[in-house]
Structure formats: structure tokens, C-alpha cells
Amino acid sequence: MAHVGAAHTRLEDDRFLTGRGRFVDDIRLPGEAYAAFVRSPHARARIGAIATDRARAMPGVLAVLTGDDWRRDGGGETDVLWDVNSHDGTPMNIARRPIFASGEARHVGDTVALVVAEDPHTAADAAAAVEVAWEPLPSITELAASVEPDAPLVHEEFGSNVAYDWRLGDAEATEAAFAAAAHVTALSLNNNRLAPSAMEPRAAIGAYDRGSERYTLWSTTQNPHLVRQWLSRDTLRAPEHAIRVVAPDVGGGFGQKTYHYPEEASLPWAARLVGRPVRWTATRAETLAVDIHARDHVTEARMAFDEDGRIAAVEANIIANLGAYQSQFAACIPTLFCVTMFSGQYAIPALHCRVLGVYTNTTPIDAYRGAGNPEITYVIERLIENGAREMAADSVEARSRNLVPAAAMPYASATGVTYDVGDFPAVLGKTRALADLEALRAEQARLREDGMLMGIGMAAFIRSGGAGPSRLAAALGSRMGLWDVATVRVHPSGKITVLCGSHNHGQSHATTYAQIVADRFGCDMADIEIVEGDTDRIPHGLGTWASRSITVVGSALAVASDRIIDKGRRLAAHLMECAVEDIDFGSGAYSVRGTDRRMTFVEIADMAYRGADYPDGFELGLEEAAFFDPDDFNYPYGTHVATVTVDAETGAVKLTGYYSVEDMGLVINPLVVDGQRHGAAAQGIGQALLEDVRYEPDSGQLLTGSFMDYTIPRADDMPNFALDSHVTLTETNPLGVKGVGELGTAGPPAAIGNAILDALWHLGVRHMEMPFTAERVWRAIRAASA
Amino acid sequence: MERETISVTVNGRAYERAVEPRRLLSDFLREDLRLTGTHVGCEHGVCGSCTVMMDGVTARSCLTFAVMADGAEIETIEGLGSVEAMHPVQQAFWEKHGLQCGFCTPGMLMTAVELLKANPDPSVDDIRDAISGNLCRCTGYQTIVESIQYAAKLMREDGP
């Protein structure tokens, strides 16, 4: 095992470091034209006549296309991929995201028409010249108000903005536990609305070849094969074999580039109509208005404790925003991918949660890195923190007392989910040591004497990673499998190409997958090519999201590699005239046990393609595909500590330290994994301190339409991270890995929130809304001291 | 629209081109010269992905018109170093995992080069301050800070 576990520098870096990456906007096709979209300036408005004459008459304009054109031509709308029923079995109300809005525009940025022109300036000018007879209607963008009886309806046909009323847990047992509790802590919590904001804006190019009657779409997607399937089945409605989707280098995804966006369907369609490739790259303002948003919950929650400080029950009522339409996975994010972790790392005998998924006149919401886990972690960890403080107990001790002990694994939580392995107390102990909590407390006391406000906060969390077990997902409402596939192709020279269904947009697959394969074959990593992102090169796959790639695709390529080695063993036995059982494989060669006879894998590969000498029944060639579908999710977890200082005069919060101990199972490459951990924590820190998508309540206008208003963290907002880890191996996949990409997003909102409260508790501050901006903190201090 | 002819040196090579006055330097580099290493992440001067060197100082090419570069010397990521002969900053980002998706990387590298020219031994705070105008969504910045510290060390060891 020379490669797995090593901090190998990345194989994919050369092109990015020298400016030779190939992102969608870097690709140029002969004869291409440019698209611009007409988007709704209103949160809600009836779409009257669309006057296109003036735009069509502009020199250089090739086409002006509307939703009527699209629908007349047989175009469809995106479909949802997860059914979530209400508690009484009623199917959810589904409003599918259209390619072009029909009848009514339902959020600022909703797409209405498409202009194709010779150059981007003309396209933009012509889009501005399309005259839509808008009839503005009352809109609803405020989440809590959306369920009030007099709220404007986003979809009048449903008679309500509620898409579903979903519940999990035992309401009766929970109620009884609260009635008998020694102490009850209650909180009203918001989980702020986020815009994932990869640095590369979305972009796409559509093309159509009349000769082969095939479409090609280059798109900034995390899952080209799924986009091909959705184009074929739902929107473009062309045969799947007549569509090629290419996702070249993609500049960050974080979930936002998972879904089927309108432009992915309308651009190839427009390309067929105008007979030229049609390209489009989003402006940042378009990205912020059109691409999915995330989180956005309001929650009433309470936690019951017995007289020993043990959690007796926990309960939450969540209103979760779905936006104007249901993005494809939207329904399952605030429900199954959120509430199934409601027990956190704790042994909680009774729990109950209700989730109202609601429509509002806002951009559709869907999974963004973390996808439900930061939301539920924030609820649990704020409750246990405030509960301990109210009972005058140490909040770290309160956590320690309630952790599921290692000996209780596998542990069936009251949500119905079973954690397979883990050692929560060990990780808490390591976190305590890494942060040196005693020293931090002493520093806090010293600073307090000098009139300085310092706070220390903790959050413990667990998530389901490695989606997934397809049959389980189907039983829970999924309309698609969650397996994946890898094809390992050994060339006659012995060099190896691996075709993978995942997609690398920063996750380092070209390196980590090669580490796995190199160890299997005993070859150099340089002899392995990892191919992703092109449906014409790769047979199938489901893409990269839900912390699944190394679990599902990593396992698939390991299984396929092992099949090839076994096949080679049969040829080696034949050629070296011995029994298959007497052949050993190691260090890149087959050898006959107890002799000095050996043949290298390269020699066997050559013979497998030469066909000169092989045993009867042996199929020539060396290529294997393996589909892998795990038996269960895996359960990575961790504990974070944040330290802050608060300026009492301005309310400004400075994040001074961040400590993280996580259990991700086997680590293939610590350099890469540490990078993922930093990045996940950074996005959680952004949620806690800076990021907040805001709409103006009356007009429904998006107020955070640029990076001047939607503020993602900068280098000087960030502390240095201190990391440690703990390893327990899962048996749900052959590698023993757990999904790491999203894990660390869960900790910062609660850890930082708890740290700020720790700094201000003695002043009487008990709560504030997220993000914890200087204004909010200043107001909380003022209110507490008034 | 009327075009103006500009003369500009990019990565040591002289170009003469007719451009519309509204042509952005970022579009001029990417579209007219096909130097696509310079990326546009926000087109309003906030993210820093489009950072290039103009007469020795960094400029946001998305906020600079190409006509403003008439007579100027521009350096872009393509001129920094090759795979065979990397600039120490490129080498350091590779060794210290200072990039993930690679989109912000060209702008980040140009900013780092400018910092290290002015300050061959920057502190962590100096580095965080210098790159605070370049957004990265992947790394959380720590490995970028470490990369730039390491690049400074490589450049000091290399000597003038």
C-alpha cells in the first residue's frame, strides 16, 4: 500500500497552475452564436404579450425564442427526483421548475425568453429590447409569513403554499417526556438563506449536428450523465443516445451545479433552430438570481432534560423554504437528509420533528454542501448549549454525558437510522485536547479582567455520507438509484484508463482514484489515466454530490481493478503452466508460489490482447466495469471548537481560532482531505458570520444581487485551522472510507454561535439571529443591557 | 461601433489589435488573444479571479478597458511559468495544495507574485491582507497562505 494514505501532490494541478485549464467558457466552437436570457424583474407577475419584433429587427439578432415556442416544439420541464409525502400519506404538491415560465413568473430571475445573436453585446441589447407586458401580482418572499392564511399563493392551484407536512418520530412519547422533564430549553432559530457561489459562474454551450442528428451540451455540471438523462426524458426529449453532455473543468460546484437548469435545455434546442452552436455564460448577478439557493429554515425547537442533565426528548417544528418551484432534490433535503440526524451524537430516547416544505416567490432551494446537516446540527447544538447553561452545567460535560458510547455501536437512533461505527467520546476527548480547553478558559478569564469579551463554543455533529444504498433510497421516495459505476480499461501496453461516473471539480479524483488503482496494480500513478465528465467517453455514472464519490466510485473502481487482476491470474497460470491457485500477485507481477517464475502485469496485458496463447474459455482483453451500490450510508462525524472575540462597542466578531476533530474512516490522501475539511469549515464559517440572501419584503426584489452584498469569506476573515482526526473503519464499502466533502459545514454555525453566546452570556444575551453580523451582535448587547 | 487600434505587449509578445472602446481587458485577453487562463468570476471587480499584471502592478482586467492598456505591458498566468519550469509561486501552490477547483488560481498567483516582489518575507497577516481581494470558495485560504509563505522561502533561497 504505497500510495493510499500518502499525502500525494495532485496530478491535475499542472494545467490550473499554468493557465491551461479548460473550463466551459474557455471552449470556442466554429460559427458559434451567443445567447442572452430575458428574466423576470418581478417576484410575481402575470406574463402578458411578449413583443419580440423590436429585438428581432436588430442587426445581428438570429432568433428570439419564448416559452410558447419551446412548448410548441415539444419541450418539457424539469422533474423532481424525490417524493416526500405528508404525514397522512398525501403526496406532496409538485410545482416543477420550467425551462421558460408559463403564464406567471414566480421569482426574480425566472426565465421568460431567449435571444440568440452574433455577439454577446447584441444578445444582451436585444434581450433588453424584448417587451413583456408584465402585470405585477402580490408576492411572498418572507418564509414565516408564507404559511399565514392571508399570504399570497405562489401556486394558486394548490390552495396553499405548503407542499408537504412531513413528520418523523414518536409525538406521543416525546410529549410525555417533555411533561416529565426536569428542565426544558426552547429556542426560535433561523437558518439563513445561502447562495453556494462557486467562483466559476455557470456556463453552457449547446450544439446540434445535422448529419448525425446529435446534440452536444457543454455544461458546468457536477453530473453529466444525469443531465443527459434529464434532457432526454424530461426537457429536450431527444433519444439518450443522441445527446452528448460534456462537463470539462468545472470551477467549483458545492451542490449548486448538480441540478438541471433551464439553459441546459434551451441552448441545445436553440442551436438546432439557428443551425449554429449557441453559448452563454452567466453574469454573477444571474448566478445569484437563477442558481439554487440553500438552507432557509425557521424553527421552533425544544429539548427536555432529566434531573441528571440527560436529554429526555427533543422536538422541532421546521418551516423549510423550497422557493418558487421544486428543484430536483429539494423535497428530501429539509426532511430525510436533515431530520434523520436529529439525534446527533447523543442517545435521545424520544424525538419528534415536523417539517412544512413551503413555496415562496424566491429562487428555488436545493442541496448545497451540507444539505440538511448544518440545519439540524444548529438546532441540536444550540439547544444543548443553552440547556446546559440554564441548568448551570458545563456545556462540554453536558455533551459528554449524553454521547452514544462506543460500546453501543451499531446504534439505532430514535430517527430510525443506525450508525454503524464511531467513537464519539474519543473524538470529544481529542477535541478538548487539541483546543486545550483549560488553557482557553484561563485566557478568557484573563481577558475578561481586562474588559475584553472572548468566547469559546463547541458543536458535535454526524451526517450520512456516501449516498447511497439504492433500494433504501427508493423505499424512502427516491426516483433514481444512487449506485455508481467505474470501468477499468487496461491497454495492451499495460497502461490503465479508468472511466468514472463521478466528476472532479476540486475534489482531486485524478489523484486519489489513481492512488487506489496504483496500489491495486502495483504500478506508478503516472501510468493511470482517470477520465470523467464526458458521456461519450464514459458509459454511465451519477456524478459527484452528497459526499459520495470516494465511497461509491472509489469502491467501484477498486472492485473492477480486482476483477482484472483475477482475470490476469488465469492467463498467468496458463502461460506459466501452473494452477491458478498457485499464482500470487504483488508489486505489479504474477509469480508462481515457491518458484522464481514470474510475469509482469505489463507482459500479461500484452498477451491478453495478442491472443497468441490463452486457455480455453478465456475471454481476451482486459477491461472490467463494476457497478457499486453500498449496503448502507456511512456516518462520518466530528466535533468543532471555535473561539471568538467580540468588540462590545461595535458588535464586531473576530473568529480567533478553529479546531476540528473528525472521523472520516480511511483517509486516502491526507493533503486532499485536509483541504476538503478546511473548505467545508470555511463555508460553515461564511454561513455563521457573513452570508445571507435577502429579499425586500414588499417588492420581493433580490437585495443581494452581487458579491458586494452577498459576502463570502475573505482570507482576512479566516483563522488558521487546527485539525486532528480519529479513524474507525466502516464495513459498508470495501475501502472503509466515509464521505468527507460536506462533513465540516455542519459545525461552524453552532460552534461560532455558541462561542458568541459564551462571550456575552454574563451580559444577559441569550440568543440572536444568524448570520452573526456586527449589527445583530451590537443590538443583542444593547437589548440585554437595556 | 468604431474601433481603436491599440498596441499592447502581453507576456513579452507585442500585439496590435483594433478593439471597440467598450472591450474589457479580460475579454480582449480571453477572446481576442485566446489567453483563457485569466478567469472572470464576478465581472464587477470583487472576486479577483481576473487579476493580471499591468506595467508591473496588479489590475482587475474585468474593470479595465482594453484601450486603457494601449502601450502597456501585460503579464498573465500564461507568462508566469511553464509546467517544465514553474515559477516558485506555482511550485509552492502545487506542493502545498493551494488550489482545488483551480478557477481563482490564476488571479491568486498574480496577486501573490506582486506581494512577494514588494515583500520577500511576509507574515501570515501580511499574506492574508494581500490576498483579501481575491476570493476562493474551495480552500478556506489556509493552504494558499502556506503556499505563499513557502514560495517566499523558495524565492529567498534561490536568491537574486
| Residues near A319 by beta carbon (within 8 Å), at least 6 away in sequence | A143, A144, A146, A147, A297, A298, A299, A355, A356, A358
- A301 - beta bridge partners? A187, A316
Chain B residues close to A250, C-beta within 8 Å = 101
CB A605 within 8 A of CB A491: yes
Interface residue of B43, B51, B101, B143 to substitute, partner A, most A CBs within 10 Å? B101
Domain boundary among B34, B61, B79: B79
Whether the full predicted model's pTM is greater than 0.80, yes or no, is yes
- A117 - beta bridge partners? A34, A61
Chain B residues close to A682, C-beta within 8 Å = 139-141
Do A13-137+199-252+257-290 and A294-467+632-785 share a fold?
no
Q: Are residues B110 and B148 in the same domain?
A: yes
- CA atoms of A71 and A335, how far apart (whole Å): 33
CB A469 within 8 A of CB A482: yes
Contact B137 A715 (CB under 8 A): no
**Looking only at Cα atoms, what is the longest distance across chain B?**
52
- The torsion angles phi and psi of A61, rounded to 5 degrees, stand at -85, 130
Chain A residues close to B90, C-beta within 8 Å = 17-18
Instruction: Please report how many Cα atoms fall inside a 13 Å half-sphere around the Cα of residue A224, on the Cβ side.
Output: 30
Is it the case that residue A84 has pLDDT exceeding 80? yes
Chain B residues close to A286, C-beta within 8 Å = none
> Which residue among B81, B133, B137 places its CB closest to the CB of A252?
B137
Among A660, A757, A700, which Cα is nearest to A388's?
A: A757
Eight-state DSSP code of residue A541: -
| Residues near A477 by beta carbon (within 8 Å), at least 6 away in sequence | A82, A83, A84, A85, A331, A332, A336
pLDDT at site A628 = 97
Contact A19 B106 (CB under 8 A): yes
| Residues near A459 by beta carbon (within 8 Å), at least 6 away in sequence | A377, A381, A639, A640, A746, A747, A748, A749, A750, A751, A754
Could you tell me which chain A residue has the CA closest to the CA of B108?
Answer: A17
Among A487, A482, A454, A447, which Cα is nearest to A466's?
A: A482
Is it the case that residue A428 has pLDDT exceeding 60? yes
CB A201 within 8 A of CB A287: yes
Average pLDDT over residues A688-712: 97
- From the number of C-beta atoms within 10 Å of its C-beta (0-12, 13-18, 19+), residue A450 rates as exposed
- From the number of C-beta atoms within 10 Å of its C-beta (0-12, 13-18, 19+), residue A409 rates as middle
Chain A residues close to B109, C-beta within 8 Å = 17
pLDDT in tens, A537-566: 999 999 999 999 999 999 999 999 999 999
E strand residue ranges, A360-438: 411-412, 418-419
Could you tell me which chain A residue has the CA closest to the CA of B36?
Answer: A26
Is it the case that residue A477 has pLDDT exceeding 60? yes
Alpha-carbon dihedral angle through residues A263, A266, A269, A275, given to the nearest 10 degrees: -70
CB < 8 Å from A in window 121-150 of B = 124, 127-129, 131-145
> Which residue among A14, A250, A283 places its CB closest to the CB of B43?
A283
> What would the grid cell of residue A293 be?
439557493
Chain A residues close to B34, C-beta within 8 Å = 28
Chain A residues close to B26, C-beta within 8 Å = none
**Looking only at Cα atoms, what is the longest distance across chain A?**
91
Interface residue of B141, B143, B149, B150 to substitute, partner A, most A CBs within 10 Å? B141
User: What SS3 class is residue A121?
Assistant: helix
Contact B82 A18 (CB under 8 A): yes
| Residues near A379 by beta carbon (within 8 Å), at least 6 away in sequence | A187, A189, A299, A301, A316, A342
Chain A residues close to B98, C-beta within 8 Å = none
pLDDT at site B158 = 80
pLDDT in tens, A223-275: 999 999 999 999 999 999 999 999 999 999 999 999 999 999 999 999 999 99
Chain B residues close to A17, C-beta within 8 Å = 83, 86, 90, 93-94, 99, 102, 105, 109
Number of A to B CB contacts under 8 A, please give it.
173
Domain range for B72: 4-79
pLDDT in tens, A369-384: 999 999 999 999 999 9
pLDDT at site B160 = 53
Could you tell me which chain A residue has the CA closest to the CA of B83?
Answer: A14
Using CA atoms, how far residue A509 sits from A14, A529, A609, A721, B100, in Å, is: 15, 11, 28, 24, 11
CB A374 within 8 A of CB A684: yes
When the pLDDT of each residue in chain A is averaged and rounded to a whole number, the result is 97
Interface residue of B38, B91, B135, B137 to substitute, partner A, most A CBs within 10 Å? B137
CB < 8 Å from A in window 17-76 of B = 22, 30, 34-44, 46-47, 49, 76
Amino acid symbol at A87:
H
H/E stretch holding A208 reads strand A203-209
- Note the helical H segments in A133-249: 171-179, 224-230
Q: Are residues B73 and B91 in the same domain?
A: no
Q: Are residues B64 and B92 in the same domain?
A: no
> Which residue among A15, A18, A679 places its CB closest to the CB of B139?
A679
Could you tell me which chain A residue has the CA closest to the CA of B52?
Answer: A19
Omega of the bond leading into A492 within 30 degrees of 0 (cis): no
- What is the length of chain B? 160
Q: Are residues B154 and B86 in the same domain?
A: yes
- CA atoms of A102 and A111, how far apart (whole Å): 9
- What is the length of chain A? 786
Residue that the C-alpha cell 430525510 belongs to: A336
Chain A residues close to B97, C-beta within 8 Å = 9-10, 671-672, 674-675
- CA atoms of B51 and A749, how far apart (whole Å): 32
Using CA atoms, how far residue A370 sits from A375, A378, A478, A670, in Å, is: 8, 12, 19, 21
Average pLDDT over residues A522-547: 97
> Which residue among B41, B128, B142 places its CB closest to the CB of A678?
B142
Q: Tell me the pLDDT of chain B (160 aa) as tens digits.
A: 799 999 999 999 999 999 999 999 999 999 999 999 999 999 999 999 999 999 999 999 999 999 999 999 999 999 999 999 999 999 999 999 999 999 999 999 999 999 999 999 999 999 999 999 999 999 999 999 999 999 999 999 986 5
In chain A, % of residues over pLDDT 70 = 100
Q: CATH class for domain A483-628?
A: alpha beta
> Which residue among A198, A671, A708 places its CB closest to the CB of B137?
A198
How many beta carbons lie within 10 A of that of residue A322, not counting itself?
A: 30
| Residues near A156 by beta carbon (within 8 Å), at least 6 away in sequence | none
Using CA atoms, how far residue A572 sits from A56, A192, A490, A624, in Å, is: 69, 61, 15, 18
Q: Angle at which helices A747-760 and A774-785 pack, to 10 degrees?
A: 40
CB A152 within 8 A of CB A140: yes
Contact A18 B99 (CB under 8 A): no
CATH placement of domain A13-137+199-252+257-290: 3.90.1170.50
Contact A201 B41 (CB under 8 A): yes
- CA atoms of A378 and A772, how far apart (whole Å): 14
Pairing of strands A162-169, A111-117: unpaired
Residue ranges of domains in chain A: 13-137+199-252+257-290, 294-467+632-785, 483-628
Q: Are residues B104 and B67 in the same domain?
A: no
ipTM of the complex: 0.98
- CA atoms of A33 and A116, how far apart (whole Å): 7
Q: Are residues B42 and B74 in the same domain?
A: yes
Using CA atoms, how far residue A163 sits from A85, A89, A156, A355, in Å, is: 9, 13, 12, 10
Chain A residues close to B104, C-beta within 8 Å = 199, 251
Interface residue of B62, B100, B134 to substitute, partner A, most A CBs within 10 Å? B100
Contact A707 B47 (CB under 8 A): yes
Alpha-carbon dihedral angle through residues A414, A419, A422, A424, given to the nearest 10 degrees: -20
CA distance to partner chain B, nearest, from residue A744 (Å):
12
pLDDT at site A258 = 98
Q: Angle at which helices A554-575 and A509-521 pack, to 10 degrees?
A: 30
In CATH terms, A294-467+632-785 corresponds, of 3.30.70.20, 3.30.413.10, 3.30.365.10, 3.40.640.10, to 3.30.365.10
CATH of the domain at B14: 3.10.20.30
Contact B142 A9 (CB under 8 A): no
pLDDT at site A19 = 97
H/E stretch holding A154 reads none
> Which residue among B77, B102, B133 places its CB closest to the CB of A251?
B102
Contact A14 B80 (CB under 8 A): no
Contact B97 A9 (CB under 8 A): yes
pLDDT in tens, A329-363: 999 999 999 999 999 999 999 999 999 999 999 99
Contact A708 B46 (CB under 8 A): yes
- CA atoms of A678 and A686, how far apart (whole Å): 12
> Which residue among A28, A198, A715 places its CB closest to the CB of B131?
A715
CB A751 within 8 A of CB A459: yes
Q: Are residues B113 and B66 in the same domain?
A: no
Among A293, A323, A361, which Cα is nearest to A44's?
A: A361
Is it the case that residue A1 has pLDDT exceeding 80? no
> Which residue among B43, B81, B139 places its CB closest to the CB of A18?
B81
How many beta carbons lie within 10 A of that of residue A454, not counting itself?
A: 21
> What would the grid cell of residue A679 be?
473548505
B118 touches chain A (CB under 8 A): no
Contact A679 B81 (CB under 8 A): no
**Secondary structure (H, E, C), A31-81:** CCEEEEEEECCCCCEEEEEEECHHHHCCCCEEEEEEHHHHHHCCCCCCCCC
Chain A residues close to B139, C-beta within 8 Å = 675, 678-679, 682
CB B88 within 8 A of CB B158: yes
Could you tell me which chain A residue has the CA closest to the CA of B129?
Answer: A716
| Residues near A118 by beta carbon (within 8 Å), at least 6 away in sequence | A33, A34, A60, A61, A62
> Per the structure, how many domains does chain B have?
2
Chain B residues close to A673, C-beta within 8 Å = none
Interface residue of A8, A17, A254, A708 to substitute, partner B, most B CBs within 10 Å? A17
**Secondary structure (H, E, C), A485-512:** EEEEEECCCCCEEEEECCCCCCCCHHHH
pLDDT in tens, A177-204: 999 999 999 999 999 999 999 999 999 9
Pairing of strands A104-105, A45-51: antiparallel
pLDDT in tens, A303-330: 999 999 999 999 999 999 999 999 999 9
Chain A residues close to B80, C-beta within 8 Å = 18-19
